[in-house]
Structure 1
């Protein structure tokens, strides 16, 4: 995720680097024609002022970006993979939810069995109570009037009903727990995705900060060389003895910038200007 202040500061610094390099080339080329040195020197000083402002802005933006990057990079101890941890927690929550759902299905089967037992006990009780009140039926079955069949059926029906109530409470708790585990799994998956996005944004911010640091270094180097040449030219203007020292310094600048910037139009023009001066190779 790009930081607009840093990207704008990098663009300004890159533009300032180009302007400083152009001013350096112009000043170097003017050394061969002394009447053009004064305006070239004024342009170089103006370029230095603009470069200093761009350098300060980029440095401030880079410090802020690095501070924000350091804050984002404190997500956990070294070696810890937050995304993997969240995905593992999500998988554990899913497994717990699946186990609870299996228990919920067993609860339903038990409730169906108890409901059938209670219904059978009530049916037998309703059927047997009037029959056992008849003397002929008791004599046929060989039971006495004090037979405990109906109370036993009533007790069985009450026990089944009590177990049904307990299983109903358990079913509600299990359903709530399943919902909670599903919610936790969803939350952990979201956190894993957010962590992955944060890691990607951190990598992009790191790359941007690295590029900004390189841009700052290039600007400082080019600005430093221009400042040295401006100081040398100003000193030689005061003594009016030519620009031998400036030409020698320019040769060193050409070598340094050729190494730092490589082949580009500004460095090639600077090299040609250095060769055109008296004593240039």
Structure 2
């Protein structure tokens, strides 16, 4: 009985209204009158906090501020960042050329530079310009020839699982050793060796080719029966998203440096990562 009376007394205390009056200093006339209780202030204050919370949440979710939240960035954001960095480099080069052109024009106007001393640009045809642009340097031509020779000379024929119970998956890096990689040893397989060409383990469609923060590529390929193969730590990619690949197609290559010359390979089935050793023969 006493607790019920105390609760009633407390509630009446919270409901007790106070009057706030604002008077004119000269005429003593009441300008504003406010009647509030503790309970009313608490309710209105709580509603105001809820409204501010939803407004701040909407401001963060529907503005670029969301990219500063931990864990919000994705692969598309990284690709967009790389694209924007390339655009910044192009704009910087263009700005330097325009600055040089402006300085040359100022010198011509001031008379400190002769127009005859400026080399004139010869007019060339579109075909000639395309030929000059598409012409490969000796270093690029040598790299292409060596790469084609390596593809022909290396054993590119994919190693397929001989066990009938396993899926018909090839080894992504021919002629290399493999080691378990991951916390439990079965999350992925780390391939190392002298070969650099990374092969598609089965026919499928390239889902995406993402550039990571460490300037390395990750390739995702969708295969039949819900399988997805993942190739990480690639230094170059030769396929684009949406491309169709067959078993043994070269999709990219790993770095030539010893500390970076390895491939991290994963297999997923129906959004679950499985042990790659269960679907292919790994020596």
TM-score normalised according to structure 2 size: 0.20
Q: Which of the pair is proportionally richer in strand?
A: 2
Which entry has the higher C-alpha Rg, 1 or 2? 1
Using CA pairs under 8 Å that are at least 6 residues apart, name the structure with larger relative contact order, 1 or 2.
1
